[in-house]
Amino acid sequence: MSQVTQVVAYSRGRSRPFMTQDLNILRPAGKCTNTSAITSNIDTSMAVLTQLVAKPDQVDSVVDKFLATYQRDHEIWITLKHTDSPSKFTVFDAAGNGVHNADELLQSSPVTQSVKIMKSHSKVTIPNTEKTAGAPVGLVIFFKAKPGKADAVRELISTTIFSVIAEEEKTLLWFGLEYPDTPGLFGVLDFFTDEEGRRFHVAGKAVQAVLAVTDEVLAEPADFSEVDVVATKITVRV
Dist. CA 197–CA 200, nearest whole Å: 5
pLDDT of residue 105: 59
Dist. CA 135–CA 168, nearest whole Å: 14
What residues form DSSP beta bridges with 80?
Answer: 90
pLDDT-based confidence at 197, cuts 50/70/90?
very high
What is the CATH classification number for the domain harbouring 226? 3.30.70.100
Residue 20 pLDDT more than 60?
A: no
Let me know: does 235 contact 75? Beta carbons within 8 Å. yes
Dist. CA 210–CA 202, nearest whole Å: 11
Q: How many domains does the chain have?
A: 1
Q: Is 50 exposed, middle or buried (0-12, 13-18, 19+ CB in 10 A)?
A: buried
| Half-sphere exposure at residue 205, Cβ-oriented, CA atoms within 13 angstroms | 13
Radius of gyration of the chain (CA): 17
Q: Which of 139, 157, 196 is nearest to 21 (CA)?
A: 139
Let me know: does 196 contact 204? Beta carbons within 8 Å. no
pTM over 0.75: no
Please tell me what DSSP assigns to residue 39.
B
Dist. CA 222–CA 187, nearest whole Å: 9
pLDDT of residue 107: 62
Domain that holds residue 221: 2-237
Which of the residue ranges 95-109, 139-153, 177-191, 210-224 would you say has the lowest mean pLDDT? Answer: 95-109
* Residue 14 neighbours by CB under 8 Å, 6+ apart: none
Span 124-131, mean pLDDT? 46
Residue 203 pLDDT more than 60?
A: yes
